[in-house]
Structure 1
Amino acid sequence: MIRFDNVTKTYMRGQHPAVENLDIEFARGEFVFLVGASGSGKSTMMRMVLKETAPTLGTVYVAGRDLSRIPSWKVPALRRDIGMVFQDFRLLPSKTAYQNIEFALAVIGTPRKVVRRLVPEMLEMVGLEDKGKRLPHELSGGEQQRVAIARAYVNRPSILLADEPTGNLDPSTAEGILDLLSEINERGTTVVMATHDHGAVDRMRRRVVEMVGGRVVRDEREGLYESETPVSVISGHLPDDSAHRSELPSALLVDEGEQPASEDGPAGDVLEEELIDERDALLEQHEDAFAEDEDGEALR
């Protein structure tokens, strides 16, 4: 379903690669956790799957397609088969829960009759069938994330990417979100989730891929968040501190004078600013083109 074939991504000349010699595959129907410290390469992997950025070397395949051979005008169609869920929900504040989900269908020209059927189905699936007319500020954080997941899944994508989807939620609410993602996975969608949520990873016991310095240092079936792997940063076996550079394995060292790609920098490894969902971007451009009927449902 997703394959990285000897992929290296360097954002700036002279900078340490965000990912390096990445050779890994996620099969159809898998649920995979990506774990690692900030700047380890997790979000860069997601950006390449969405064709938000291209590898410097190597090839990325999604659903058997070489992304380097997909022209720019076909990228929106690619992204319609990839759902994306963010830590900060990214809901449109002036639109109800129903309308936020509805728009993901409207922008691809889904017939109104189909929209009227699918949106209530999605609200029911995420347990919000009685809150379709609520605005985002009238919903709890967990409910907003459920709406965001429904919006990402309403087109029935074959892949769902989740970037820290439980990061802003309390542990109890996070469990519900993980159960929902698990249900989506059981319906056949490949789920790849980047997270720092120890509890989520330990409870789910799915495949765990740990990144350090742009490289995969652990790929474990039914894994836990922490590991005995000697090159693990998150388990405390490898210091996440430049003061301990001499202790790093040589393959993971950054040359003197170089800095790892920052997740906070303009060319860094974070999705928060640059990786905008295609449907959200379209909504901002065309929001005024949608009037509202008496029930608060957007009209085309």
Structure 2
Amino acid sequence: MIRFDNVTKTYLRGQSPAVENLDIEFARGEFVFLVGASGSGKSTLMRMVLKEVAPTRGSVHVAGKDLARIPSWRVPALRRDIGMVFQDFRLLPSKTAYQNIEFALAVIGTPRKVVRRLVPEMLEMVGLEDKGRRLPHELSGGEQQRVAIARAYVNRPSILLADEPTGNLDPATAEGILDLLAEINERGTTVVMATHDRAAVNRMRRRVVEMVGGVVVRDEEGGGYESAVEDSVISGHAEDGESVTAAGTADPADPTRPSDPTPAPDGAESADRAGRDHVDEVRASEDVLEEDLIDEREAQHLDADDAAFAEDEEDHR
């Protein structure tokens, strides 16, 4: 389902690789936890599956396709078979729970009759059948994450990537989200979840892949969060690696942003916070604008892409 063949990813010349010599495969129907300290390469691995970034060396295969051979205009078709859930939910703030899920169907031109059937089914599956008309700010954090999962799963993707989906939730709510992901996995979807949630990993006892400095140091079936592996940072070993992360090194998924920046001096902190708030507001506005710009013509264009992709695949058989 997902295979990395000797993959190395370096973002900037002279910088240590975000992922190095990665040889690993995730089979169809697996539930895999990716664990490791911040900056260990988990997010880079996921971004390569989505073809957001390309490996510097090696090859990535998703659903039997070599991503290097997929041109940019076919990437939307690839991503329709990959659901993505984030720690911060990323719901459209001006749209209801129903409309947020509906949006994922609208962008691929799903007929209205199908939309009216699928969205209520998704709301019922995630336990929110009576809250479809609520806006995100009217929902709890756990409920918002359930909407985000429903949106990611509504197209029935074969792969679901979850990046810290329980990171902003209390333990009881996190258990419910984990149960929901397990249910999706039981329906046949491959789930790869990056997490720092010790309780979640220990409770599920699924395959655990631990990364340190872009390298896989543990691949264990039925594993727990911590391990006796000497190179494990999260288990209290390899303390030097832990201190490097804590010192504020560049985040490999965004080399321009420190993973744990040094606190700003008095007087600068409030200005910095205001700047971040402004950026967040702009991003939220851009999300709404992006939604408003998707119309029937875009849906037709995506359908045409699908038809061309299918013809090309048939020609290669």
TM-score band by shorter chain is 0.7 to 0.9
Contact 2:11 2:255 in 1 (8 A): no
Contact 2:92 2:287 in 1 (8 A): no
Partner residue of 1:276?
A: none
Unaligned runs of 5+ in 1: 246-258, 270-279, 291-300
Q: State how far apart, in whole Å, the 1-side matches of 2:52 and 2:138 are.
A: 32
User: Within 5 A, what are the aligned runs for 1:208-287?
Assistant: 208-241=208-241, 262=252, 265-266=255-256, 284-287=289-292
Deviation, 1:238, is: 1.1
User: Within 5 A, what are the aligned runs for 1:102-121?
Assistant: 102-121=102-121
User: Within 5 A, what are the aligned runs for 1:46-61?
Assistant: 46-61=46-61
Letter aligned with residue 49 of structure 1: V
Find the residue that maps to 2:231 and give its secondary structure. Answer: coil
Contact 2:233 2:242 in 1 (8 A): no
Deviation, 1:265, is: 3.3
Contact 2:250 2:258 in 1 (8 A): no
Find the residue that maps to 1:193 and give its secondary structure. Answer: strand
Q: State how far apart, in whole Å, the 1-side matches of 2:243 and 2:114 are.
A: 58
Let me know the Cα RMSD of the aligned residues: 2.3
Q: State how far apart, in whole Å, the 1-side matches of 2:68 and 2:5 are.
A: 12
Q: State how far apart, in whole Å, the 1-side matches of 2:294 and 2:190 are.
A: 34
- In the superposition, the TM-score normalised over structure 1's length comes to 0.85
Deviation, 1:262, is: 4.3
Contact 1:38 1:263 in 2 (8 A): no
Partner residue of 1:82?
A: 82
Q: State how far apart, in whole Å, the 1-side matches of 2:122 and 2:83 are.
A: 14
Contact 1:16 1:261 in 2 (8 A): no
Find the residue that maps to 1:75 and give its secondary structure. Answer: helix
Change (3 A) 1:100 1:240: farther
Letter aligned with residue 292 of structure 2: E
Letter aligned with residue 287 of structure 1: D
Q: String of CA shifts for 1:238-267, please: whole Å, max 9, x gaps.
A: 11457789xxxxxxxxxxxxx665456338
Letter aligned with residue 185 of structure 1: N
Q: State how far apart, in whole Å, the 2-side matches of 1:239 and 1:52 are.
A: 32
User: Within 5 A, what are the aligned runs for 1:88-167?
Assistant: 88-167=88-167
Contact 2:37 2:242 in 1 (8 A): no
Q: String of CA shifts for 1:86-126, please: whole Å, max 9, x gaps.
A: 00000011100000000000010000000000000000000
Q: State how far apart, in whole Å, the 1-side matches of 2:82 and 2:40 are.
A: 23
Q: State how far apart, in whole Å, the 1-side matches of 2:51 and 2:258 are.
A: 15
Contact 2:6 2:57 in 1 (8 A): yes
Task: Note if 1:18 corresponds to 2:18.
Answer: yes
Q: State how far apart, in whole Å, the 2-side matches of 1:128 and 1:242 are.
A: 40
Partner residue of 1:272?
A: none
Contact 2:93 2:135 in 1 (8 A): yes
Contact 1:96 1:135 in 2 (8 A): yes
Q: State how far apart, in whole Å, the 1-side matches of 2:171 and 2:242 are.
A: 32
Deviation, 1:237, is: 1.2
Q: String of CA shifts for 1:125-163, please: whole Å, max 9, x gaps.
A: 000000000000110000000000000000000000000
Greater shift, 177-186 or 260-269, is seen at 260-269
Contact 2:97 2:134 in 1 (8 A): yes
Contact 1:40 1:212 in 2 (8 A): yes
Q: State how far apart, in whole Å, the 2-side matches of 1:268 and 1:60 are.
A: 27
Find the residue that maps to 2:255 and give its secondary structure. Answer: coil
Change (3 A) 1:176 1:59: same
Contact 1:17 1:261 in 2 (8 A): no
Q: State how far apart, in whole Å, the 2-side matches of 1:116 and 1:242 are.
A: 49
Contact 2:11 2:18 in 1 (8 A): yes
Letter aligned with residue 215 of structure 2: R
Q: State how far apart, in whole Å, the 1-side matches of 2:176 and 2:169 are.
A: 10
Contact 1:34 1:193 in 2 (8 A): yes
Give the helix-richer structure, 1 or 2: 2
- In the superposition, the TM-score normalised over structure 2's length comes to 0.80
Contact 2:107 2:294 in 1 (8 A): no
Aligned residues: 268
Q: State how far apart, in whole Å, the 1-side matches of 2:226 and 2:167 are.
A: 18
Change (3 A) 1:53 1:243: closer
Change (3 A) 1:126 1:7: same
Find the residue that maps to 1:266 and give its secondary structure. Answer: strand
Deviation, 1:286, is: 3.6
Contact 1:18 1:260 in 2 (8 A): no
